[in-house]
Structure 1
Amino acid sequence: MTRKPPDFPNWHDISATYFMQGDSYTFPDNASGGNGGPIPDLSCGLFLSRCLHHLNSELASRNVTSNVEIHVAGGATQPIFNPPKQKTALIVLADERELFNAYPLPQEYIVFKSYSEKHTADSREHPFPVGYFDAAGSAEPVPFSERSVNVFFSGFLNRNRVDIYKQFRRIPWLPTKNLVNQHAKEIARRLVDKLCPERTFHHAFPDSRISFTEGFAKGLNPAEYGALLANTRIAICPPGFVSHETIRHWEAMKHGCVIISAPLPPSRFYRGAPLIELRDWSKLKSVIQELLNDPAELLLRHESTLRWWQDMCSEKAVALYMANILCQAPSPQR
C-alpha cells in the first residue's frame, strides 16, 4: 500500500538516492544520483563526509567490504530498492514523519535512519544522527571560560515553540504551563503572531541572544549563527515543527553547550546524555538562572557534554557504531 504524506503545505517530493561505491565514501564527491539527475546540496554534507571518511577507514582496518547508499526521504511514494550485490549501508535522511518502511527492503540492506523514534531491538533500522549544518560544524569553538553569550536561541516561532515564547513575553490569555493539544498550539501561534509583535528577548538574561523569527532560516545567516553557537554557554533547543530531535541539538552538543531540551527519543544518542530535559517549559527561566548562578555546575555540564559528544555522537563515534553493525550483518549469498 502506498503511504501518502500528511496534508502539510511545505511538503515537497525530495525523494532521491545516492550511490557510493569504491575505495572512498566521500559525500558528495563519490556519489551519483540514482535518478541520473544532479545531486542537490545537502545541508549536513560536512557531517556525512566526515562520518563516512571514518567509516571507510574503520571498515578497511577490519577488511570488511560494504557499499553505502544515502536516501533522502520525503516523497509520496517509497522507491523500489533492488537487491545490491554486496552488503550495503542505507542511510535514510530527512524522514521526520517516519514514512520510510525498512521491512520490504532486501536483506542485504542495513538501514540507518535519522528521526528513528520508533526503533526497537528487533527493528530493521538503526538510529542515525540528524547531524549539523555545515556552517555550525565548521565554526571554531570558543573556550568555555571565554564565551561571551550566556544563553542563545534563534529560531522560527512555530506552534511547538509558543510554550517557550510565552516564558519571555507574558500572555495573560494563555496558561503558563505547556499546551498539550496540537490544534490549540496552532491557534495560540496564530494569535501570538497577530497580537504579540515582540520577537527579541536579549534582556531576559545578561549577555544573551534570544530571538524568534518569522520563518525557517529567516534569521541569522549560517556563518553568524554558527559563530554565536560556538560562543554560547547555554543553548535552548526546542522541538522543530514535527520532531523533538533537531539539528540544533547536534550543533550545540558539538560545541559543548549546556543543552536545555524537550524530552528526546531514547535512542543510543540521547539515552543517558547530559542534557537538561524539560517536560514543562514554564520551568525554563528558573533552570537557566540556577545554572548561571552556579558556574562550577555549568562547567561540569559543559565537560560532560563534550565527553558525550566524543564517545557517542562525534563523526568517529558514529562511524564505529555503524562499522560494528555492518561487521555483524551477514554478507549476501550469491
Structure 2
Amino acid sequence: MSSNKLVGEDLLKLPNVHYEKNSDYRFEELNEGLFIAGVFDELQRIMKANFSDFEFFIFTNHKKDALPESIHVKSNKRKVLFYFSDESGKDPRPYAKHYFAIFKAYIGDRFNSGNIFPIQIGYVKDVPAFLPVKPIMERTYNVFFRGNLNKNRIDFFRNLAGFKWLLPPQRIFNGELYRKVLLKTQDDFSGKFPDSILMFNSSFKSGFSTEKYGEILSESKIVLCPKGYDMTECFRHFEGMRAGCVIVSERLPNTAFYRGSPIIEIDDWKQGMATVKELLNDPERLKALQAQMIEWWETRCSEQATAKYVHERINSLLDNTHGKSAKD
C-alpha cells in the first residue's frame, strides 16, 4: 500500500510536477488530492530516475470550455497531463497532440485515441480507511447508502420506497422540483433491510461527517452505488472497495478499473433490491466477494496499482515511439 508521503504542497514542490493555475480548486481543497499524491508517491518509486524525464501537469476543472494552460507550455521533456474532476467527461482528443500522454477521469472507454487513457477517480481525502479490514460477517450494518438525491437517482429512490406506486409520475414535474417533492415525502429508508442505513441528502457531503461516513463504510457489508450527478462512477465505488465492502452498482464503463471486477452490476434498482436480498441470504458468497474486493483494490485500484497502470501505459507509448524511430 502507498505511504502517501507526498501530500498537498509537498507534491507540488517536485520540479517536474505542476498544478494548472486555471484549475477550479486549490490542490489542498481537492476531494481526490490525497489519492493523487499517493499515486505520484508510488510513481516516483516505480519510475526511479526516469521520473525526471517527464513533465507532469495536474488539471482539475468542471467548466465546459476550459482547457489546461499547459497546452502552450514548451518543454524538452515529455508532457503528461492528469485531468481530474470533470464529471461531464469532456473529450480530450482535440488537444492530445500537445502531450505525450493524457490520463483523464470520467471518460470511460469512449475516446480511443492512442495517447489518451482513463484513470480512476480516487476517494474523498477526508474519508478515513480503517485497517485492517473487518471481516464481513462481523460488521454492524447489512446495507449502507447515504448520499445526495440527484437527478439520476430517482429510480433508486422509487425502488427503496415501499409506497412507490403512490408517488406522482416524474413527467409532471421538472427534475429539481420532483427531487424536492421526493425528499419531503421521505429521506430515510433504513427499514428497507434489517440493520441497515439508507438515507438521502439534499446535496453532496451534507449527511454524515466524512469521518463518520468512513467509519460506517468499514462496518457495512453491502454498499449501494447509484449513479453520480453525471457519470456512473463516483467516489463511493472506491471508498467502498478500499473498505472491503460488497458493492452493488449500476453499469460501469468498460475500463481496466471495472472490467472483470467483483462489483455486482445491475440494470435497474428493481433488480438491485432483489440482488441485495439474495446476498444477505448467502453469507458464503458475501465472504468470497469481500476477499475478491480487497484483492481488486490492492491490485487494480489502490494508489500503488494506479501508479503501476500509469507506468505501463507510458511504457507502451515509449515502446511505440522507439519502434517508429527504429523503422525510420
Task: Give the TM-score normalised by structure 1.
Answer: 0.82
Aligned with 1:67: secondary structure?
strand
- CA distance in 1 between counterparts of 2:99 and 2:229 reads 34
Runs of 4 or more, structure 1, over 6 Å off, are 61-64
Matched-pair contact (CA < 8 Å) for 1:159–1:185: no
Q: For 1:151-204, what per-residue CA distance to the aligned partner results, in whole angstroms no more than 9, with x for missing partners?
A: 0000011121111111222222559xxx9xxx8497466335326521111111
- CA distance in 1 between counterparts of 2:172 and 2:201 reads 17
Deviation at 1:303, TM superposition (A): 0.9
Larger relative helix fraction: 2
The aligned counterpart of 1:193 is 180
Give the alignment's Cα RMSD to 1 decimal. Answer: 2.8
Matched-pair contact (CA < 8 Å) for 1:51–1:316: yes
Q: What is the aligned counterpart of 2:143 among 135, 140, 151? A: 151
Q: Rate the CA distance shift 1:168–1:316 in 2: closer, same or farther, 3 A.
A: same
Q: Rate the CA distance shift 1:48–1:275 in 2: closer, same or farther, 3 A.
A: same
Q: For 1:274-331, what per-residue CA distance to the aligned partner results, in whole angstroms no more than 9, with x for missing partners?
A: 1111112112222111111110011111111111112211111111111112223348
Q: Does structure 1 residue 278 correspond to structure 2 residue 266?
A: yes
The aligned counterpart of 1:171 is 164
Matched-pair contact (CA < 8 Å) for 2:6–2:38: no
The aligned counterpart of 2:215 is 227
Deviation at 1:51, TM superposition (A): 1.1
Q: Rate the CA distance shift 1:161–1:36 in 2: closer, same or farther, 3 A.
A: closer
Greater shift in the superposed pair: 241-250 or 165-174 = 165-174
- CA distance in 1 between counterparts of 2:128 and 2:172 reads 32
- CA distance in 2 between counterparts of 1:57 and 1:158 reads 40
Task: Give the TM-score normalised by structure 2.
Answer: 0.83
- CA distance in 2 between counterparts of 1:241 and 1:229 reads 21
- CA distance in 2 between counterparts of 1:213 and 1:317 reads 33
The aligned counterpart of 1:35 is 21
- CA distance in 2 between counterparts of 1:163 and 1:209 reads 18
Q: Rate the CA distance shift 1:152–1:185 in 2: closer, same or farther, 3 A.
A: farther
- CA distance in 2 between counterparts of 1:235 and 1:199 reads 17
Matched-pair contact (CA < 8 Å) for 1:73–1:100: no
Aligned with 1:256: secondary structure?
coil
**5+ long unaligned stretches in structure 2:** 13-17
The aligned counterpart of 2:15 is none
Q: What is the aligned counterpart of 1:213 among 185, 201, 207? A: 201
The aligned counterpart of 1:6 is none
Aligned with 1:126: secondary structure?
strand
The aligned counterpart of 1:262 is 250
Q: Rate the CA distance shift 1:33–1:192 in 2: closer, same or farther, 3 A.
A: closer
Deviation at 1:207, TM superposition (A): 1.1
Matched-pair contact (CA < 8 Å) for 1:87–1:109: yes
- CA distance in 2 between counterparts of 1:25 and 1:186 reads 48
Matched-pair contact (CA < 8 Å) for 2:59–2:68: no
Matches of residues 241-252 of structure 1 in structure 2 within 5 Å? 241-252=229-240
Aligned with 1:319: secondary structure?
helix
